[in-house]
Amino acid sequence: MDVEILLHGVPSGQDYYGLKEEQKITESFYSSSNESVKFVVEAKKNGNNPYLYYTYLRYKGIVGAGGRPGSYIGITLRLDMYYTDVVHMYNLLDIVFKKYIVGTLLTPTGESYKYISPDFSSKKTEIEQLQQGILQLIQSTCVFSKFVKIDNSFINQITNAPTCNIADITEGTMSATIKKYSKVVLSPDYKSNLEKEYEKKVQDVEGRGGSIVAEKEKKIAEKDSIIAQKDATISSLNTKISARDAEIATLKQDNKRQEQELAQNKQKGKIAQLIRELKEPITSLSNYFRVTESESRQPTPKYGKKNFYVGIANAALSIVVIALLVILAISTIKPFDGKESKELATLKTQYANLQGKYNSLESLYDELNSEYQALITTKDADAKKKESEEAKKKAEIEAKKKVEEEGKRKAEAKPNAMIAEMMSKMGIKKEVDADNSDSAIAKMVIEGLNMGIIDMESKIKQFKDDADKQVLKFAKEFFKASAFFSLGIVSFTKSVLPIINSRSVLSSISLCNKFFCFQVAVIGFPVS
């Protein structure tokens, strides 16, 4: 069988390592891609000879040696035969990338990979070792009965290559497709048949319910318009209420001022009445102390001098009292005459009018407030209904997303399990080829079980806060059973192993490994 390994990519510029005659076929892969990983299977002639090209490509996250993004790296296997298990070939090259290319040609930088060297020629030794490793993997892992001789029937001129998710590929469908089209592009990033089927069902449901949804959205829009109109009305009413509140406050202030003036006028009337009441006794008192004219014409020694001084004192007292009363009246009030009575009547009339206006405004305010509360109640009810409908739509979207994620997880679980199984087989075969003694096989059994127990314990601790409680319970029970089983195996290998054929033990190891991989896949822990 003729096998050629070609390496191509963009470490600094387009670069190639392999047969010179095959360089052109790799140049078509230097392009942008929305997929992180691609696997291209293509039947093509080189001269008169037909070949099958298996090309593993990495695009997203590949950075050139100088830090330039948008690079890529590709590994192409050229075979003169067709290997029908295409998924196995993809897994093989995926392992080569992760275990051998990363670390030698690429270095991880966060979620990206950066070229270590600006060209492949400076990594000649590493690339040759990589090629030898790929050849050994093909020899040790591939089933040679699945290699089919190719001829010109594989070569067609159809330009539109079909695309497919890796998880949907079978040997039968792949063989028929490659013979029809000569080229198939595969990727785990493409939508699987399960996802397409689900989307179709969703579209059918949406198509049937589209009119209902549209009608509901129309009704919601109409209600939103009504609510907006009501909001405008409420705003207008609030403005009117504020204006009326200001007017009422002004009227209350005027009313209070007039009440104060009325009280002052009443007080002035009381003081004027008091002055009138005091005037009469003062006048009488003045007359009492007055000296009569006849007495003043009879000056006798007995009374003359006395009457003179009494008259002076009487006159002075009268003048002082009258002066005090006049000063008090002038400084505090003006006479409460008929004009004041008219002003008081006018104020009372104005007060009554203001009181009537105030009562009317208060009644209008109550009416406006009632209407406002009714509008608020209607708006709240409409808002709650809209919120409920939005929550329902959100729940439907979340359910759809959950189903999509579950489908994607199941689609990704298959290749992970296959890779784990293949790596396990490769490791077991390598160890047995190196040392097929009973002690070595016993050591492999014990170490394998112990690694499984340690890994299970680590996963339980890692996902204790995220995994389902039932899943964690099952994992802990499995952990205990595995530990007990490991102790039994140790005793078994020490006492019974010498009399059992080593190949039977090897089959048991493979069976245990398959069961462990299945267990990990079931409980949802990633296979590392």
125-168 pLDDT, tens digit per residue, is: 999 999 988 998 888 888 889 999 988 888 877 778 899 998 88
393 vs 70, 196, 227, 386, 455, CA distance in Å?
Answer: 39, 22, 22, 11, 42
The pLDDT-based confidence of 411 (bands split at 50, 70, 90) is low
Query: Residue 76, exposed/middle/buried by CB under 10 A (0-12, 13-18, 19+)?
Result: buried
Are 108 and 79 a contacting pair, CB within 8 Å?
no
Q: Is the pLDDT of residue 392 over 70?
A: yes
Of the candidates 394, 425, 455, which is a domain's last residue? 394
pLDDT, average across residues 207-212: 64
- Dihedral of CA 284/286/288/291: which sign? negative
Backbone angles phi, psi at 455, to 5 degrees: -65, -40
Strands (E), 200-285: none
Structure tokens at 117: 């060297």
Q: Does residue 96 lie in a domain region?
A: yes
Query: Residue 59, exposed/middle/buried by CB under 10 A (0-12, 13-18, 19+)?
Result: buried
Quick one: how far is CA 150 from the chain centroid? 53
Q: Does residue 203 lie in a domain region?
A: yes
The span from the CA of 22 to the CA of 209, in Å, is: 55
The pLDDT-based confidence of 213 (bands split at 50, 70, 90) is low
463 vs 284, 444, 460, 466, CA distance in Å?
Answer: 116, 28, 6, 5
Cα dihedral: 497, 500, 505, 511 (round 10): -120
One-letter amino acid identity for 364? L
The span from the CA of 167 to the CA of 414, in Å, is: 7
Q: Does residue 415 lie in a domain region?
A: no
Token pair 């006159």 in the structure block, residue: 315
Q: Which of 497, 502, 501, 486 is nearest to 429 (CA)?
A: 502
**Which of residues 8 and 489 earns the better pLDDT score?**
8
Let me know whether 75 and 141 are in one domain. Answer: yes
The span from the CA of 402 to the CA of 97, in Å, is: 31
Q: Looking at residue 238, what is its pLDDT?
A: 72
Q: Looking at residue 521, what is its pLDDT?
A: 45
Q: Looking at residue 492, what is its pLDDT?
A: 57
Token pair 């009441």 in the structure block, residue: 277
The pLDDT-based confidence of 467 (bands split at 50, 70, 90) is confident
Q: Which of 144, 142, 153 is nearest to 175 (CA)?
A: 153
Token pair 């006048």 in the structure block, residue: 283
Backbone angles phi, psi at 38, to 5 degrees: -135, 150
Token pair 């003006």 in the structure block, residue: 334
Let me know whether 182 and 225 are in one domain. Answer: no
Are 53 and 76 a contacting pair, CB within 8 Å?
yes
Q: Is the pLDDT of residue 510 over 50?
A: no
In the 8-state DSSP scheme, what is residue 98? I
Q: Is the pLDDT of residue 300 over 50?
A: no
Let me know whether 206 and 138 are in one domain. Answer: no
Mean pLDDT for the chain overall: 76
The span from the CA of 513 to the CA of 425, in Å, is: 9
The region of weakest confidence among 210-214, 299-303, 380-384 is 299-303
Query: Residue 43, exposed/middle/buried by CB under 10 A (0-12, 13-18, 19+)?
Result: buried
Structure tokens at 183: 């080229």
CATH number of the domain that residue 312 is part of: 1.10.287
Q: Give the pLDDT confidence of 447-465 residue by residue, as tens digits.
A: 777 777 787 777 787 777 7
Are 268 and 328 a contacting pair, CB within 8 Å?
no
pLDDT, average across residues 399-427: 67
Bridge partners for 107 per DSSP: 114
The span from the CA of 485 to the CA of 483, in Å, is: 5
Q: Looking at residue 115, what is its pLDDT?
A: 95
- Helices 338-434, 438-462: axis angle to 10 degrees equals 180
Q: Is the pLDDT of residue 406 over 70?
A: yes
Are 72 and 57 a contacting pair, CB within 8 Å?
yes
Let me know whether 491 and 447 are in one domain. Answer: yes
Q: Looking at residue 320, what is its pLDDT?
A: 62
Are 506 and 444 a contacting pair, CB within 8 Å?
no
pLDDT, average across residues 85-92: 92
pLDDT, average across residues 222-248: 74
Q: Does residue 509 lie in a domain region?
A: yes
The span from the CA of 278 to the CA of 276, in Å, is: 5
Let me know whether 448 and 350 are in one domain. Answer: no
Kindly calculate the radius of gyration of the chain based on its CA atoms and give it in whole angstroms: 54
Q: Which of 52, 137, 70 is nearest to 100 (CA)?
A: 137
Let me know whether 479 and 445 are in one domain. Answer: yes
Let me know whether 465 and 510 are in one domain. Answer: yes
3-class SS shares of the chain: helix, strand, coil, % to 5: 70, 10, 20
Q: Which of 172, 180, 136, 132 is nearest to 154 (CA)?
A: 180
Q: Give the pLDDT confidence of 52-85 residue by residue, as tens digits.
A: 999 999 998 899 998 888 899 999 999 999 999 9
Q: Looking at residue 520, what is its pLDDT?
A: 44
The pLDDT-based confidence of 404 (bands split at 50, 70, 90) is confident
When divided into structural domains, the chain yields a total of: 3
Q: Is the pLDDT of residue 16 over 90?
A: yes
Instruction: State the Cα angle at 151 between 149 and 154, rounded to 5°.
Output: 105
Let me know whether 214 and 105 are in one domain. Answer: no
Q: Which of 59, 56, 58, 60 is nearest to 86 (CA)?
A: 56
Q: Give the pLDDT confidence of 315-368 residue by residue, as tens digits.
A: 666 676 666 665 655 555 444 444 456 666 777 777 777 777 777 777 777 777
Let me know whether 277 and 139 are in one domain. Answer: no
**Which of residues 5 and 241 earns the better pLDDT score?**
5
Q: Looking at residue 42, what is its pLDDT?
A: 93
Are 35 and 60 a contacting pair, CB within 8 Å?
yes
Q: Which long-range contacts (CB under 8 A, 24 or more apart) does 391-396 make?
A: none
Of the candidates 132, 155, 190, which is a domain's last residue? 190
Of the candidates 127, 160, 190, which is a domain's last residue? 190
pTM: 0.42
Q: Does residue 428 lie in a domain region?
A: no
Let me know whether 458 and 477 are in one domain. Answer: yes
Q: Looking at residue 501, what is its pLDDT?
A: 47
Q: How many residues does the chain have?
A: 528
Let me know whether 137 and 184 are in one domain. Answer: yes
Q: What percent of the chain has pLDDT over 70?
A: 69
Q: Looking at residue 461, what is its pLDDT?
A: 79
The span from the CA of 70 to the CA of 61, in Å, is: 8
Q: Give the pLDDT confidence of 415-430 residue by residue, as tens digits.
A: 555 555 666 666 676 6
pLDDT, average across residues 204-223: 70
Q: Does residue 404 lie in a domain region?
A: no
Q: Looking at residue 291, what is its pLDDT?
A: 47
pLDDT, average across residues 423-447: 72
Q: Give the pLDDT confidence of 91-103 residue by residue, as tens digits.
A: 999 999 998 899 9
Q: Does residue 417 lie in a domain region?
A: no
Q: Is the pLDDT of residue 118 over 70?
A: yes
The span from the CA of 303 to the CA of 306, in Å, is: 5
pLDDT, average across residues 480-488: 66
Q: Looking at residue 57, what is its pLDDT?
A: 94
Instruction: State the Cα angle at 116 between 76 and 109, rounded to 5°.
Output: 100
pLDDT, average across residues 199-227: 73
Q: Is the pLDDT of residue 381 over 60?
A: yes
**Structural domain that includes position 182:** 3-190
First to last CA, the chain: 33
Half-sphere exposure of 528 (CA within 13 A, CB side): 8
The pLDDT-based confidence of 514 (bands split at 50, 70, 90) is very low
Q: Does residue 491 lie in a domain region?
A: yes
**Which of residues 447 and 39 earns the better pLDDT score?**
39
Let me know whether 75 and 177 are in one domain. Answer: yes
Bridge partners for 5 per DSSP: 77
